[in-house]
Amino acid sequence: MATVNGEETRRKHTGQCLDCGKALELYMLDLKKSRRILHCVSCGLYHFYKKDFFGKWKLARAAKVPDLWG
């Protein structure tokens, strides 16, 4: 969670969950490999994005991964 003016706010980014339609939270960003992982805190679905040839983020896959990183 990030703090702005003493208030805690969730880091939400563009996109909606494929399952429930809620906003996604950034889980991991890897600029060297041009990948990012967004996580839905409501249903627990992970969305894996990859940059395409033109530099735009495209959804590669979405999956529930129970023990992905601990």
29 falls within a domain:
yes
70 falls within a domain:
no
> Count of domains in the chain?
1
8 falls within a domain:
no
Residue 13 has a pLDDT of 66
Cα–Cα distance between 33 and 11 in angstroms, integer? Answer: 22
Minimal CA–CA distance to 41: which of 13, 7, 61?
13
Minimal CA–CA distance to 57: which of 15, 11, 12?
15
Structural domain of 27: 20-64
Residue 59 has a pLDDT of 92
Minimal CA–CA distance to 45: which of 70, 69, 15, 24?
24
Residue 41 has a pLDDT of 84
55 falls within a domain:
yes
Residue 60 has a pLDDT of 92
15 falls within a domain:
no
Global pTM? 0.73
1 falls within a domain:
no
> Which residues of the chain register pLDDT less than 50?
none
